[in-house]
Structure 1
């Protein structure tokens, strides 16, 4: 270690010992320490727990999906955000497990009394602890994602009461919040990479702004990298697949990479769209809801909408290429496949809610429910569909333009090229045929 690192190591060990977060150890375990430099150039002590993590049975407890959390905000108008100070360190390790966390340094052998960063199960353990503390408030007026707590309410009076309950819970559990990172009683707020307002959510402008500085792709990997970043925000961009179509084609490794004018226009248009991303409505379980689906020969599409008393507004769009195994299915089966995919994607919205509308131009349930026997795939799909409370709403195909467009994304269509040799007689026969045809003769001459 350098002199700077040794000085920081001694200071941080003294600080951790003084706080009671670590203690001297005689454990047979001993993970090495290292340093990482923070954005402000300060050094931060880190412990390399890779060997310990490789032997650890993983905690199956999942972290909440961020989009699931944001969808709970509904018609909330007031927000407060709390950030816990040294969050992981507020969780104690069971005394008989502390020896496993031991680490070795030049200044001694130590083990953690509280949970450190770097352990594979630390995030799930911390999330479980926070969920347990706030279980009675979750999805009612509190969201918890690790050490980020969001309190949301429809009225100011409710919000003050909700905030008081949250603070009392933290006090009782002896959790400490970082005052500098807390925000109270706001109507606009940044939370988990999004900008939250009473009108809806949108990506943070700072995150989108980074795309503006993205240079033109020079190879397939550059294209994939850019699309990987941009696709994170595709749910906010109407017609994303159309805007990105020319870039999507460049991802094929078996064709010469040609970043031509069409690809450049697609690249610039996608960046412009990301910088002016429209806000989608936040799902509100109290509003009337409908889903519209469609299937084409090579794709399926759907849109989830809600009515605010004036008009239908989109909540999310969905588009997917039909799996090869289903590409030769008949239209009814593909329509049913589209509905099943939509229900799986929006299960957290639709399962258990009051009746929603399913808008389609070809209701396959009418056919399949009249059949005495169906194959195992259809039977499995039907059993899944039966969990939901909905009523079909048939519309003419020409009225189903939006879902139809989603189901016909150009990048979902696979074109197969084949080359073969033909003899001169057949070639000349083609030429004579074109010359004799009134419509093609002009094209041939031009």
Structure 2
């Protein structure tokens, strides 16, 4: 035997043919069955001759020659680049071709910049050793990129080494190890979208297409002054890249920013994008064809390319970001399920972290994830002793079971009632959000599970239960936080504010209003009375950024500006008025909350008739040079409805004035010290409605206080 011992079985009488995986490559060979001591299998001379692997005896790593060949060929053009692409999209053949892809892209305003924390810091790393086949592949790659003009020889004082990393398909990818450079780079704060937030936009969609952008990062340039910082060292010399490479810490943020700008008016409407993965969704075939054509047109115009063999068109079900998306909802990708099923029990902390990291991605499909995984999480801490006993094994197996048997998560439907169930006990809490589907049964939309930490573990059961309710409401806020109830066909308010006088106009409209409708509202309620503005500031809603609005504004001589992405406060004047409108409507709307439209003119009147903190005068005075005439008689009429309406208007005026005085005092003096409140018998008092369950159709406009009561 290999270890020097003698086989106890004597002669070998049995032979089997087995398939096995070695270094992520599938192999097959004949084996003799025998007791071979401590080894499970021995690969002999016949196998070495057949597969001829490259063996690095110093590192004890096996590599296969055809794997290395995959490095050079993985991005070669397909024999038929349009194979699988529907004929109606062949107009955009350049998107799927090789010729344009190999060209150097132009400089854009989204070129990546590399700002160093310490400009004096020395960034250099030694070369990594390579096999002969790796060296051949490296040389071929350098020649190809030099010919395309994407890299060039460098004299930079900064350099990072190149290396090969394995891919899922068994081939290997050439990358630059930029870890030292990244550690000394100022980080971009541009956000990447949350995958679960992207998935929530797909409700109501019936047909899907998925596009995989080809080497998307390489379609952006590196800013000229920062090209030397990308330098990488090889055995063939020092080179630097003109295109954005994989591995730079800010590459994902720059690329996401760029593609968001290209598809800004389609995002969440017919397209969701996570880096180089595009998902197009529509409600019917006709719409979908238009949406796909528009996406391909923009890709072609911006010199972005896709590999047809990795794209899928007009499907009712497909995989996106590791999730199976269908008309019915979301489910786990079969490959993910298989990976969990075949995952061996961890033998050390690093292997356990790898498993939990993978499982964590799937936790929204698994009920009571935190509760089940707690014994495993307890082993993660470096201070914890590694003990894999029955309890840990059972937790591991149960977690695999709930993941592999995970149900299909239904699409959330805002027109259906949500059912939220929570539970908390011991060391974890959990919740499930559901809706009743066509079969009359509740189907889950998602699961939430978290462990209690620190002092939370000592809470009483009722506190844990309440905490679970609060956490689940926050977790599913995007579904449970609703807008205005429909009144007279309206479910939204267009707020127009003059930046000079602060004069405001509140117009009832629809959340689905298109650009033409919004333009009509501007004409009807603002332009006809005050003329055209020179400049507008609005949020980044599609109605303000689409082709019609931009063309109309250009023709009318209006200069449009938009609030910063993910920072609506840059449209500050409107953002400050919105809570005031909501507060006003909450006070005066009826129990059903479906009569807010009739109160909107009074809300506008009250707001414009009150002094503004920025001007110390009312918007009405700024516009008309006088305060509005408002001197109702104290003598009541014989029409009760008229008396009631007059009294309400008077009450509104008094409350707005009082609220503004109080607000001014708080801003100038700070919050007054709280003093104990005492009540006299018969005195009226307000009741805080925060914890009162009001049976209304819209919680958004619920009263904040009730009464007054005696």
Q: TM-score, normalised by structure 2?
A: 0.46
Pairing partner for 1:70 from 199, 205, 212: 199
SS of equivalent residue, structure 1 residue 92: coil
1:51 CA drift (Å): 2.4
Pairing partner for 1:32 from 158, 161, 164: 161
SS of equivalent residue, structure 1 residue 160: helix
Hey, what's the Cα distance between the residues in 2 that align with 1:59 and 1:76?
Answer: 34
SS of equivalent residue, structure 1 residue 5: helix
Which structure dedicates a bigger proportion of its chain to helix?
1
CA, structure 1 residues 184+242, in 2 after alignment: closer, same or farther (shift >3 Å)?
A: same
Hey, what's the Cα distance between the residues in 1 that align with 2:237 and 2:484?
Answer: 62
1:37 CA drift (Å): 4.7
| Greater gyration radius | 2
How many residue pairs get aligned? The number is: 366
1:219-277 Cα offsets, whole Å, 9 max, x none, are 777666555544443332345567667767888987894734x7656554543443332
Q: Equivalent residue for 2:362?
A: 233
Q: Equivalent residue for 2:449?
A: 319
Please say if residues 160 and 178 of structure 2, whose CA atoms lie closer than 8 Å, have aligned partners that are also in contact. yes
Please say if residues 348 and 386 of structure 2, whose CA atoms lie closer than 8 Å, have aligned partners that are also in contact. no
Please say if residues 79 and 151 of structure 1, whose CA atoms lie closer than 8 Å, have aligned partners that are also in contact. yes
1:64 CA drift (Å): 1.4
1:313-344 Cα offsets, whole Å, 9 max, x none, are 32122333444435566777655533332233
1:142 CA drift (Å): 0.4
Pairing partner for 1:279 from 394, 398, 408: 408
Q: Equivalent residue for 2:229?
A: 100
Q: Equivalent residue for 1:341?
A: 471
Give unpaired runs (5+ residues) of structure 1. 356-370, 375-381, 393-446
Q: Equivalent residue for 2:220?
A: 91
1:10-43 Cα offsets, whole Å, 9 max, x none, are 2111111222211233333232323335456655
Q: Equivalent residue for 1:397?
A: none
Q: Equivalent residue for 1:124?
A: 253
Are 1:143 and 2:454 counterparts? no
Please say if residues 368 and 430 of structure 2, whose CA atoms lie closer than 8 Å, have aligned partners that are also in contact. no
Please say if residues 72 and 284 of structure 1, whose CA atoms lie closer than 8 Å, have aligned partners that are also in contact. no
Q: Equivalent residue for 1:202?
A: 331
Please say if residues 220 and 257 of structure 1, whose CA atoms lie closer than 8 Å, have aligned partners that are also in contact. no
CA, structure 1 residues 115+389, in 2 after alignment: closer, same or farther (shift >3 Å)?
A: same
Give unpaired runs (5+ residues) of structure 2. 1-129, 486-673, 678-689, 692-698, 704-710
Are 1:11 and 2:140 counterparts? yes
1:217 CA drift (Å): 5.2
CA, structure 1 residues 345+372, in 2 after alignment: closer, same or farther (shift >3 Å)?
A: farther
The aligned runs of 1:193-272 (5 Å cut-off) are: 193-216=322-345, 226-238=355-367, 240=369, 257=387, 259-260=389-390, 267-272=396-401
Please say if residues 73 and 152 of structure 1, whose CA atoms lie closer than 8 Å, have aligned partners that are also in contact. yes
Q: TM-score, normalised by structure 1?
A: 0.70
The aligned runs of 1:142-221 (5 Å cut-off) are: 142-216=271-345
SS of equivalent residue, structure 1 residue 32: strand
Please say if residues 349 and 386 of structure 2, whose CA atoms lie closer than 8 Å, have aligned partners that are also in contact. no
The aligned runs of 1:379-394 (5 Å cut-off) are: 389=700
Quote the RMSD (CA, aligned, Å).
3.7
Instruction: Between the two structures, name the one with larger relative contact order (CA 8 Å, sep ≥ 6).
Output: 1
Hey, what's the Cα distance between the residues in 2 that align with 1:312 and 1:134?
Answer: 36
Hey, what's the Cα distance between the residues in 2 that align with 1:179 and 1:249?
Answer: 46
Identify which range, 112-121 or 333-342, moves more after superposition. Answer: 333-342
CA, structure 1 residues 352+97, in 2 after alignment: closer, same or farther (shift >3 Å)?
A: farther
Please say if residues 289 and 305 of structure 1, whose CA atoms lie closer than 8 Å, have aligned partners that are also in contact. yes
Q: Equivalent residue for 1:306?
A: 435
Hey, what's the Cα distance between the residues in 2 that align with 1:231 and 1:158?
Answer: 36
1:181 CA drift (Å): 0.9
CA, structure 1 residues 289+297, in 2 after alignment: closer, same or farther (shift >3 Å)?
A: same
1:165 CA drift (Å): 1.0
